[in-house]
């Protein structure tokens, strides 16, 4: 599979499928089933969040104001843009536009990396403010509702941490796609891996779309 050939010698159609549209439909279905498991995976922590927020909305609101709204909003914009570049990458792959695909994959990787970088910056802020109640670190909270505030920050780190982990995995997959594209693959009828990665990436974006208001915008900020 080396050399300057732009298409593989083998057919993209696996032998168990009748035709390519059927194979693509099956690929998509499989990915959606996986995304359903991911919905439940994140759903569990969202449930915990909802229970504790209903329990003490005031403490959650107070804790939420301690998060960096600027960086959170910027991160949301960055991630939404990366979803745009991702869907443009899928389009480029399907229409065999190799150069556009490379550019869009690179753009998605850069934006995704910026997101993770900003997250790291926010985590560092929380650590230096004593608002990281993990691994036995001290938690500095002098207002009422201490245990609820601590629960808020526990949930913040778990939810955004799991999300960031999914981002990093997505970035690794995108890097693999980039390498494959540079070797002349993943175009036209062979583009389904790009499409499926796009589904994963957009799902991770949707999770953040819910995370952002629930963590950063609790109860009439500013």
Partner 1 sequence: MSHNTASLRPYIIVFAALMLLLVVTVEVSRLDLGRGNFLVAVLIASIKATLIGLYFMHLRDSTALSRLVALSGVLFLAILFTLAFSDYWTRNWLSPLKLGSEENSPSARTAIEAPVLDRAISAHDGDTTYPR
Residues that bind partner 1 (CB under 8 A): 21, 24-25, 28-29, 32-33, 35-36, 39-40, 43-44, 47, 50-51, 53-59, 69, 73, 76-77, 80-81, 83-84, 86-88, 91, 94-95, 97, 144-148, 151, 195, 198-199, 202-203, 205-206, 209-210, 212-214, 217-222
Tokens of 70: 């600027």
CA distance 66 to 62: 7
Tokens of 118: 């900003």
Q: Closest distance between partner 1 and the C-beta of residue 155, in Å?
A: 13
| Helix (H), strand (E) at residue 151 | helix 146-182
Q: Closest distance between partner 1 and the C-beta of residue 73, in Å?
A: 6
Q: What's the alpha-carbon Rg for the chain, to the nearest Å?
A: 21
Q: Closest distance between partner 1 and the C-beta of residue 220, in Å?
A: 4
Q: Closest distance between partner 1 and the C-beta of residue 12, in Å?
A: 12
Q: How many other CB atoms are found less than 10 A from the CB of residue 166?
A: 19
Q: How many other CB atoms are found less than 10 A from the CB of residue 109?
A: 20
Q: Output 25 or 179, the one with its CB closest to partner 1.
A: 25
Q: Closest distance between partner 1 and the C-beta of residue 206, in Å?
A: 5
Q: Output 132 or 151, the one with its CB closest to partner 1.
A: 151
Residues 6+ apart with CB under 8 A from 166: 38, 204, 207
Q: Output 54 or 128, the one with its CB closest to partner 1.
A: 54
Place of tokens 């799902």: 203
Rounded to the nearest 5 degrees, what angle is found at the Cα of 133, between the Cα atoms of 129 and 138?
Answer: 65
Q: Output 84 or 116, the one with its CB closest to partner 1.
A: 84
Q: Output 124 or 158, the one with its CB closest to partner 1.
A: 158
């Amino acid at each position: 599979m080396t050399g300057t050939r732009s298409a593989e010698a083998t057919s993209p159609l696996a032998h168990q499928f009748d035709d390519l549209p059927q194979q693509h439909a099956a690929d998509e279905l499989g990915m959606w089933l996986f995304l359903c498991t991911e919905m439940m995976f994140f759903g569990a922590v969202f449930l915990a969040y909802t229970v504790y927020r209903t329990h003490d909305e005031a403490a959650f609101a107070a804790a939420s104001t301690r998060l960096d709204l600027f960086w959170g909003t910027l991160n949301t914009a960055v991630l939404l843009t990366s979803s745009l570049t991702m869907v443009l990458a899928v389009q480029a792959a399907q229409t065999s536009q190799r150069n556009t695909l490379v550019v869009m994959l690179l753009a998605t990787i850069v934006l995704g990396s910026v997101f993770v970088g900003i997250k790291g910056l926010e985590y560092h802020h929380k650590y230096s403010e004593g608002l990281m109640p993990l691994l036995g670190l001290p938690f500095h909270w002098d207002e009422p509702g201490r245990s609820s505030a601590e629960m808020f920050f526990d949930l913040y780190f778990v939810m955004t941490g799991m999300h960031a982990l999914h981002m990093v995995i997505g970035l690794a997959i995108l890097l693999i796609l980039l390498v494959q594209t540079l070797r002349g693959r993943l175009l036209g009828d062979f583009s389904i891996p790009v499409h499926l990665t796009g589904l994963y990436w957009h799902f991770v974006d949707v999770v953040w779309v819910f995370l952002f208001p629930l963590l950063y915008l609790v109860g009439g900020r500013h």
